[in-house]
Amino acid sequence: AFLHGLPGVDRVGADQRAAMLGTRSIKTTAKARAIDLAISMVDLTTLEGADTRGKVRAMCVKAVHPGGGAPRVAAVCVYPDLVPVAVEAVAGSGVKVASVATAFPSGRSSLDVKVADTAFAVAAGADEIDMVIDRGAFLSGDYLKVYEEIVAVKAACGEAHLKVILETGELATYDNVRRASWLAMLAGADFIKTSTGKVSPAATLPVTLIMLEAVRDFRDRTGRQVGVKPAGGIRTTKDAVKNLVLVQETAGEDWLTPDWFRLGASSLLNDLLMQREKLATGR
């Protein structure tokens, strides 16, 4: 009843506001600061069936030492079985190790398996868990099942932070994105995340805007702050800067840190580093 009592999202208004904020122009020193801030917010990710220990080690080296004096990224994100490799590779650097869990990316498994998946990753040393919700249950209106699964996974996380992936590309409406955001936060999520990166569309600006409004309103009502992580399809420096503008103008400066905003990406870091070099050298 509470979730259906949330105000509906004005789709036209959300699309127009996101488009307007996406046209903001940031130049020179402000752009340089934005690039470094974006780098520090990246969750550098590899989630492919062909992932190897060597590929994960190489990614971790890049995460810790991006090059050119750039800051380290926020975290690396891998499958649970590769968590020990990542933990060893980033030890002492301050880079977090995140792991997907709960039958990623579909979420189609029993609660026992999802909890075991989470516990396995945490025992291996993961600092953060990225879980997927059961979209079938959510779209069927079985909100209680989704809520109880998030609560159980949060308990299995122990000290690890929990990011709840909504897979917004499958939720069909902006109203559902708002409801799923509130549902995840009420169940104890530390972060709400747009997508797995396996479904299109992924992290669109209007969806991120709606989720930022949700965390802002949730803190106003409960006093608890929750982070946001757009993931999937964020590939260029321009994309990253648009997201930072969205954070500033929607939730405010309190969210403009890696503790409360992340960018899930596999190729974004390369473009950020190239644009950083171009600003510094002209090449």
Residue numbers annotated as active site: 130, 193, 229
β strands within 145-262, DSSP E = 161-165, 191-193, 227-229
If you ran DSSP here, which 8-state letter would residue 171 be given?
S
Contact (Cβ atoms closer than 8 angstroms) between residue 208 and residue 231: no
Which tokens is 193 given? 């995340």
Residue whose C-alpha is closest to residue 247's, from 233, 272, 229: 229
Does residue 45 sit in helix, strand or coil? Answer: strand
Which tokens is 67 given? 């090059």
Give the Cα separation of 269 and 38 in Å (integer).
9
